[in-house]
Every structure is written in structure tokens, then in C-alpha cells.
Chain A
Amino acid sequence: MDGVAVTLSFWILAAVTLVAAAGVVLARNLLHAVLLLILSFVGIAGFFLLLSAEFLAMAQVIIYVGAVAVLVLFAILLTPHAGRDNGETRMAAPALLLSLCLLAVLCFVIQDTAWPLATGGGPGLSAADLGEALLTTWVLPFEVASVLLTAALVGAIMLARTPQDEAEDALA
């Protein structure tokens, strides 16, 4: 990483991402939390851009900002009593425990990994390379993920259908 502009953008992005992430936890209003979460997603996309991984940055914006965040918003809209008040729940203690476990795992990974330094500025990852790797070397995880998504889709339909719907469809 060289150049004043790159360093400056790194620190600005880091500050924005971390402040937004802290805001997600601290915001009392559920919708403000989601909006701050989106801001931190955009910050991560900025990091990808700084690392000259343009394709990943755009995929990050399309998937996380365009799809995941919108789904979270939709879930909030469809949840009763979630509108403007993010009150205390009884799940606070288990959630804290879970996050502490996750923090421990992440700290261990960061400690344990040998971080190699890239030699010279490469041309960056192109979309074609990524696609080829996904469909040759990593084809099994890719297919497993698609099976998982299909199962989730079917499960969502099963959960969303009421007995009345099924009766109506049986008649039609």
C-alpha cells in the first residue's frame, strides 16, 4: 500500500466501517441498525476496491446491499412489534455468549494464520479467473451451496403456505 491517497482512503474507510458496525450494535432503533449495517457493507466494498478486487467489490454491493439488506428490511417489515423499538429480550445472555465464542474463534484464526506479503502489485482478480476457479477447482462446494439454497427455497415455500392455500390449490 503506497501513496497518500490510498492510505488516507484506507483509514477513512476503516473509521466509517467500524463506526457503522458499532452503531449496528448500539442503535436502539432496529431500522437504524439495518441502515448502519448497510453502510458497513459499503465500507467493506470500498476495501475490496482498495485491494483492486473490483469484481468482489461489485459483487459485495449487489449481494449484500442489493439483496441481503433488502431481505433484512423485508423481515423487519413483516415482523410485528419490530417497527421502532428494539427493546431488551431474554435472548441477550445467549447472544452475548455466542458472540464471545465467535470473537475467540476469530482471534485464534488471526493469531494462527501466517500472513504472507504479496510480492508486487498483481493485476488483481478478474471475473473470468474467479468463474473458472469456481467451476473447476471449487465445483463441489459451489454445487453444495446451490443445493443448500434450493433446499432453503423449498423450505420457505413450505413454511409460508397455509393449509387453506393447499386446499385451494388442490381444487384448482
Chain B
Amino acid sequence: MAFFLATNNWYDFRDLSNISRVILEGAGNILPHGIVYVLAPLIGFVASFLIFVLPSQLYVGVLGERKIIGRIQSRYGPNRVGMFGVLQPIADAIKLLSKEALTPKGADKAVMWIAPVVFVMPAVMLFAVIPFGPRMIIADIPNSLLYFLALSSIPVLATFMSGWSHNNKYSLFGAIRIVAMTVSFEVPLVLALLGVVLFTQTASLQGIVGFQRTTHIWLIVLQPLAFALYFICVSAELNRTPTDIAEAESEIVAGYLTEYSGMKWGLFYGMDIGYALAAAAFASTVFLGGWSFFGLDHWVPPWLIIVAKTHAFYFLFIWTRGSLPRLRSDQLMVFCWKYLLPVALINLAIVATERMVWIQNDLSTNVVYVFAVVNLALAAAIVVAWARFVGYKPEDTPSQPRFVRDARGYVPVGDAAALVQPSGAPKGKGS
């Protein structure tokens, strides 16, 4: 990182690894040998939690989400506690901590007690491989992308444990739904990321950021289809609202969370946001350039850039949650297996072909700009063509709202109502 202007002085806040290194060197002089190895990850986790996860969770995840959803639904959102409701998350936390954690009589107490713990642990460990800067990364391992995938497959077990242990049929329904959905959506998600790995020739997140930095192009442009697939699949795995069939409150009370109360529920709620933030940080690392921003990262602290990108990506989650209706369980399954999976396979074949052309003809890295244009065009073509092939008929420019059209015509309003004959009344659902 020759161009990086940050120095090695501890007060250079553009690279927070300096200050942690100074602390660790000081501690290494005082403490006995070996303690430093325990101290280093602790400092890393505590720092990434204090700088990033906790504020984001409280103020973007809890308060921001409720505020924005409120605005989308034409209401104010929380605005009673503190100015503009800024103290609402803290009030919520105090309320949750002081509530009694009930355990049903017929529940499996041990499993019910362990489930939140199993749910929280991977959420904390996920942030170990997210690069916050050229040197600000807790564990720079060669397969960090796989590490992320491996850890994010664990929470489904925790949700299953909670759903099963309650001895409640709604919880069990939620558990069945989440297990079926995760098994299905994991496949296109991994295939989409495989395209990225094939293109960048590395499975390390720092390496992927380096690729995007040296080629001056983000992978969202090179792999638009993979980005769309990742976004859909990850919001299904995270139980975000358009796909939250596992805790659909209008169908199965609260799904796998039905019997939890107090802080046990709070852990699930909080870590749901933690997982969403981790997925957003992962997506901004893989697809949106990570801590780099076309040279701006020389001047602005890189960790601020990735935090900003993460929050921007998290806004996408909030937006879809506020504007899309919930899908049915079978609709989701059909969508995954008949649409997402073939599209992911086609995307993988395209990437493999491009990579082969690139290597065999020994082209320069400038060829990625050609691939970007080709992939953007192909992505749009594939999305439409496969939808036609499967039989979805996307309505390009609906001239009327759908319910009005189904009612055979239009619903007369005002003066126009007087002109309509009574026999022209809606006949129910049209053909």
C-alpha cells in the first residue's frame, strides 16, 4: 500500500491498527509471554464493536429502521424518548433487561437456554474477517469468504433449536420454514459468490478489495447478476420482511420466537440486526469496493468509508422491508429453485468463459471494462429471458393499477361516477 498516506504514528486515526499495535507492544513489555495473543483479538473485537457494530445496531438498525419504515408508511416512528426519539433504543434495552424471561412448562429448557447463545456467537465472529482498512482486519486469512459463509450457516441451527424447544406448534412451523428456506437459498447464494471468486481469483476479502482497487471498478458492475442474487438470497436467509415467512406475525404468531420474552428475545432481535449489518458489510466489501473509494481512501479514513457503504447497503434492506409485501412459503421455494438457481448457474458459466478468454489470450487488466459492459447487458437479458421462459410475465408498463384492471375497467370517482351505468359495476376478479 505505497500510496496510503497514513503513517505508523499512533495518533494517525486514519489507520486504527496503529494505536492497537502501540497498546499491544506496551502490553507485551509488561505482561508475561503469550497473553498478548489473547489480548490482540479482544482489542480487535471490542474496538470493532464499539466503533461499528454497537452504534450501527442501536442507531441504524433499531432507531433508523423504525424511523424510515415509519416514514415509508406515512407515520412518524418513535419520537417520544429524547429529542427525535434518539434515546428510544436505550429505553428499549432497559425495558427488555427488566422483563421476566419466561420458560413454558413443556419446553426443553436446556435447548431453549442454549439457542440464544448459539445465535449470538457467530454474529460476533463474522466481523473478524471484514477488512476495515489496509491493515485494519482482525484475521486476514486466505479463505475469509468461505469463513464468512461457514459461520453464517450456523444461526439457522439456533433458530431451529429455539423453534423446536418451545413445544409450541407455531414455533415448530417457523422452524420448519426457516430450515427449508435456508437450505434452498444457500445454493444460489454460494453460486453467485463463486462467480466473484472466479473473477478475482481469490477467496480472501482483502484480496477482493485489492482487485477492485487496482482495476478501479467495483464488482457490482462486473457481476451485476451476482449482486442481485446475493441481495435476494441474503435477505431470505436473514428473515428480512419480504421473505420473513419464519416469523410471519400474521400467520404463525411470531414463528420461532413465539415463547421467548425479555432479553432472550432481545438477543435474537439484536443479533438479527447484527447479522444484517454483517451481511451488509460483507456485500459492500465484495461488491462495492470495501474500504476503497477511487482514491478518496487516501484522505478519508478507510474505516469511515466502509461504515458508510455498509449503512447505505443496510438502507436497501430497510427499503425492501418497507415497500414489498410478504411472499408465501411455496412462492419463495419456487422462485428459488426455478428462477434464482438457473440464473446463478448461467452467471457462473458466463464468468468461467470470460475468465478463460482472459487467461488464454493473455489480455491486460483493461479487459475488465469490456466484461463490465458485456455483463451488464447479459444480466438484463438473462433476467428477462429466464422470466419469460419460466412463465412469469413481467408487466412492463401497466396502464392501470392491477386491481382496477381486474375489476374490468376503472373505479369511477367524483363526476365520472354519475356517468357510469349501474350495470358497469365491478364483476369481481377478471380473467
- Mark A residues whose CB is within 8 Å of B: 5, 29, 31-32, 35, 38, 54-55, 58-59, 61-62, 65-67, 69-71, 73-74, 77, 84, 126-127
Contacts and interface: CB of A to CB of B under 8 A. Distances in A.
A84 B141 CA distance: 41
B135 to A, nearest CB: 21
Contact of A77 (B146, B151, B153, B175): B175
Nearest to B178: A70
B183 A70 contact: yes
B180 A74 contact: yes
B182 interface: yes
Contacts of B175: 77
B152 to A, nearest CB: 9
B203 A70 contact: no
Interface residues of B, number: 28
B252 to A, nearest CB: 15
Given A65-B154, A66-B153, A67-B186, A54 B164 contact: no
A127 B142 contact: yes
A1 B199 CA distance: 37
B142 A70 contact: no
Given A66-B153, A66-B186, A70-B157, A31 B164 contact: yes
B160 interface: yes
A133 to B, nearest CB: 16
Contacts of B186: 66-67
B161 interface: yes
Contacts of A61: 150-151, 153-154
Most chain-B Cβ atoms within 10 A of its Cβ — which of A38, A62, A84?
A62
A5 B180 CA distance: 40
15 contacts: A54-B143, A55-B143, A55-B146, A58-B147, A58-B149, A61-B151, A62-B149, A65-B154, A66-B153, A66-B156, A66-B186, A67-B183, A69-B157, A73-B179, A127-B203
B154 A59 contact: no
A5 B146 contact: no
6 tightest Cβ-Cβ pairs between the two chains A and B: A66-B153, A61-B150, A58-B146, A58-B150, A62-B150, A55-B143
A65 B182 CA distance: 13
A35 B154 CA distance: 12
Contact of B146 (A31, A32, A62): A62
B308 to A, nearest CB: 29
Nearest to B161: A35
Interface in B179-220: 179-180, 182-183, 186, 203
A38 B118 CA distance: 12
A38 B142 contact: no
A62 B161 CA distance: 18
Contacts of B111: 31-32, 35
Given A5-B34, A67-B186, A127-B143, 14 more contacts: A31-B111, A35-B161, A58-B146, A58-B147, A58-B149, A59-B146, A59-B150, A61-B150, A62-B146, A65-B150, A67-B153, A69-B157, A70-B182, A70-B183
A85 B172 CA distance: 16
Contact of A38 (B150, B157, B164, B180): B157
A64 B149 CA distance: 13
B176 interface: yes
